[in-house]
Structure 1
């Protein structure tokens, strides 16, 4: 049965603090052990600072409380300074290379420092808290209050939170995510990495009124463990205008939702990770493993190429009983670099997990399609003047279960209704240019954004029906076959940096990581087990539809049927960087 709450049991015996009372006791004990004048609580943007003030800081009864926000420029000035990053577009911006220090008002900061120094001279103790708190004054005790990006996006949607220095409560969530993605998350991650060696405690603030805290030594020891064994992230699910009901029925999740369009089960940039310290479960941003353990996780070659970024992304697209995805295209590499400041683009593939008899994929253009004629029809459709006649221009192909289609950037595409797709792609996931959305509005009642001005220069019109059939459709190459398993190279075009392998097996399969982090999904069969060849990690059981990650440092591992699947045929799909 699909597990929506996977945990990593931390091997070292460490005791995490759960709840504000226990955390307050721990901090007080720490203060009595050493001379402490300044406690700093650095916060990731969108951490609930008001809750921390009322339930943690005030009960500690410090002499002086300073909110870090007071050292920065006004919200209006900060927004003016980053306008070139935000742009006027609803979805797209330009990657920021700022640091939080760029927004410090030197005079305000000087005045706050003077006040803090006066308190210290009187032997009083101070708490500085909030985003950028660590920039204000040298601290004696540093606590880092953290949050994963998926929870941040949910807080944007709630209308109860704003972006950092924005005062934009209740704004269009797409614009809030844009500000997060292109600006504040970049800046916050930069500061977090710089602070890793100075942090004394990490504070999990995902659950309202129920934080969890662990000392940094134990935290980093847990990250080291994660980066040396198979693990799963905490999946999140989201409804959409084209969403279906397959995941609700097969994974038993999201029963309260109108549908489920997406499942993100392998995106460390956004997913969280559960660490189990004894009886206490701590939720952390999975991206912290990438940033703190890039070499063992990614491998030297991948780290050298991408830096501390996880380059592979797995997610499900469920249109079973739903509708077509938008007709879309991803940018070519030089375009995404020149226009948005991203390092690389979203090449991808669609692995078909389920498909009804009439299911289709839209991929490439029809033979002989005239670019100007098609673009004119798309522009008319954008104005609402008429429906876009996709049947005249877009190649539509029947699909079946276990098909695999490459979609290199520049290829126009859409998943049709009544299918379930495992999307295997490069990580940059913001750069989807919608060309046509089948005359729909979003679940919020607002027309979904269409970006023909970005889409047009990125559509490669030579990718027509003949080219698609030759280059992108079901290119399976058998590499190994024997009595109990078969390995095939499949899926991604030679222009894409991700390699995919499909293993069909009824017995034990020996895998290697190929010098790269591996991401896998069990796409057929109830249950399999991942085993170490040298006993370096405990057997790791996975279930149908679950995405799991194998760090590069594992090198070799085995996968075989487990439990009710023993004696049956299973299939995994594996991705790694070529």
Structure 2
């Protein structure tokens, strides 16, 4: 039986006070708010089902005037034209839009609405939709929030983007519009509103909305950064996906496979906050926005701002296939081409492998560069298969190996392994060079990005360079009774430091002035404890990723439960500052 907790929850309060579940109870509470303030603004993150929100919550309020903000912006076509240069013609890549919501508003429509609101100050008015908070300071402000993973599921079901008539467009293009336009736009506004929101609505479950007061919500966020915590993992199929996670984590039997598990990515993952018997799901990014210094540390915040710079996820190819042959951009390339501040440097920590498992890493010695470029171009046209054995360095792997993959390094995970991918957070800039001649799960070819890929490959990184620089050094750092600590990576080009601890006794840790991200890579169970009693003991199980906020400073980890008197291991990542 699996011990992996797929629904980790932080208990904030034994009481459900100031939490209202279901549309009926939400409406009742909002009606009491309307008695104190005749103007209610309901700000919505893009992806909220505003039609159902209107039917279930807004219409039953019976306000004298209801205003939908989508009607106050320029037309869908006009906005799409305004951001056209950011979206580009590429299926995957674009550049981040610098637009603000105010730039997208139709001034004449806004003028009419503000005049109407001014003249109707004695009437009850509800203004709702994205940007509703922009129209007045004197209001009760409600924020309806949703996780990015839920948004992606809704895209799969045909939901269009905000201010777009693209129900039938490819999900990848919907995601691109969100990634480069909607989400940065909405997140900038959300950061400005954090201290102003009076009530939050959990909009992830369309059939069971939940309302929580500002005080109770902030209590939950405060608790998160005062203790170790886990994010809610999500699992997704892929053309190369495997079967290890399905069996190990007792996942659903219906999906064709499970390729990914995102379990340490606050931009993508949620947090569950429990109040009595009610669970509020909130984007983990809100914790980063509201408590950046407590979570990240002053030095990391000073370097990255309110972005979580470390990412943990699983890649499963057991009984599956190879990942695409790919390369991530160098820092210079990603900045010049896409305006991003840093690139996706990464590493593969081998969590499980079969006897035939390999990684593809770097180039073979003395290859002909122009010949390889020609063959990749011919393979992209479908004229031939790319001969990876001729050009690409391939290495046998075993459990607990750790390989660095700085930007510019050709790489791929072969079949029959499970990788814990430890990387910097940007997760959209993967330049596929060759995809073994296959189509995706939807039957369509996966995009190949030779132009970007060939411009970023570091051709000097051949097998000798890889052996010297990118294979795990397992350098002993320190040791004591029942434990020792190793440096396992990453390369000097990468800003993430990783340390592995093998231990059968208690190990004392410090945060190194950075948020710490962990995974229990060996052993059934461990317990994280406070040195000074500032948080309750926190239990983790095999393969679970967990986060230690920087301001905790010192803590300990030891084997627990079935792992007592056994040797277990954690991998720990933090930012070199």
Calculate the TM-score normalised by the size of structure 1.
0.98
- Which residue does 1:24 correspond to in 2? 27
Which deviations, in whole Å up to 9, do the C-alpha atoms of 1:464-492 show, x marking residues without a partner? Answer: 00000111112110011233111001121
CA distance in 1 between counterparts of 2:88 and 2:263 reads 31
C-alpha deviation, 1:425, in angstroms: 0.2
- Which residue does 1:191 correspond to in 2? 189
Q: Secondary structure at the match of 2:468?
A: helix
* CA contact 1:264–1:314 (8 Å) conserved in 2: yes
* CA contact 1:365–1:395 (8 Å) conserved in 2: yes
C-alpha deviation, 1:138, in angstroms: 3.7
- Which residue does 1:332 correspond to in 2? 330
C-alpha deviation, 1:25, in angstroms: 1.5
* CA contact 2:91–2:173 (8 Å) conserved in 1: yes
- Which residue does 1:92 correspond to in 2? 93
- Which residue does 2:69 correspond to in 1? 68
Show structure 1 runs of 4+ deviating over 3 A: 11-15
- Which residue does 1:252 correspond to in 2? 250
C-alpha deviation, 1:139, in angstroms: 4.0
Which deviations, in whole Å up to 9, do the C-alpha atoms of 1:386-443 show, x marking residues without a partner? Answer: 0000000000000000000000000000000000000000000000000000011000
Q: Secondary structure at the match of 2:289?
A: helix
Q: Secondary structure at the match of 1:421?
A: strand
- Which residue does 2:133 correspond to in 1? 134
What is the aligned counterpart of 1:296 among 294, 302, 305?
294
CA distance in 2 between counterparts of 1:491 and 1:256 reads 37
CA distance in 2 between counterparts of 1:422 and 1:97 reads 34
CA distance in 1 between counterparts of 2:574 and 2:484 reads 18
- Which residue does 1:146 correspond to in 2? 145
- Which residue does 2:469 correspond to in 1? 471
* CA contact 1:4–1:253 (8 Å) conserved in 2: no
CA distance in 2 between counterparts of 1:60 and 1:46 reads 22
CA distance in 1 between counterparts of 2:436 and 2:489 reads 28
- Which residue does 1:6 correspond to in 2? 8
CA distance in 2 between counterparts of 1:359 and 1:420 reads 9
* CA contact 1:503–1:572 (8 Å) conserved in 2: yes
| Structure 2: unaligned runs, 5 residues or longer | none
Q: CA RMSD in A?
A: 1.0
| Count of paired positions | 573
Q: Secondary structure at the match of 2:518?
A: strand
* CA contact 1:324–1:417 (8 Å) conserved in 2: yes
- Which residue does 1:489 correspond to in 2? 487
* CA contact 1:237–1:254 (8 Å) conserved in 2: no
CA distance in 1 between counterparts of 2:73 and 2:147 reads 24
C-alpha deviation, 1:334, in angstroms: 0.9
Which deviations, in whole Å up to 9, do the C-alpha atoms of 1:20-49 show, x marking residues without a partner? Answer: 1111121122233x2x22111000001010
C-alpha deviation, 1:447, in angstroms: 0.2
Which deviations, in whole Å up to 9, do the C-alpha atoms of 1:538-573 show, x marking residues without a partner? Answer: 010001110000000110111111111111111100
| Structure 1: unaligned runs, 5 residues or longer | none
1:41 and 2:42 equivalent? yes
CA distance in 1 between counterparts of 2:398 and 2:141 reads 54
- Which residue does 2:542 correspond to in 1? 544
C-alpha deviation, 1:11, in angstroms: 4.5
Which deviations, in whole Å up to 9, do the C-alpha atoms of 1:338-392 show, x marking residues without a partner? Answer: 1111110000000000000010000000010122111110000000000000000
Q: Where does 1:79-478 land on structure 2 (aligned, <5 Å)?
A: 79-120=80-121, 123-159=122-158, 161-478=159-476
* CA contact 2:13–2:274 (8 Å) conserved in 1: no
* CA contact 2:329–2:429 (8 Å) conserved in 1: yes
CA distance in 2 between counterparts of 1:519 and 1:300 reads 17
C-alpha deviation, 1:12, in angstroms: 8.1
CA distance in 2 between counterparts of 1:105 and 1:75 reads 12
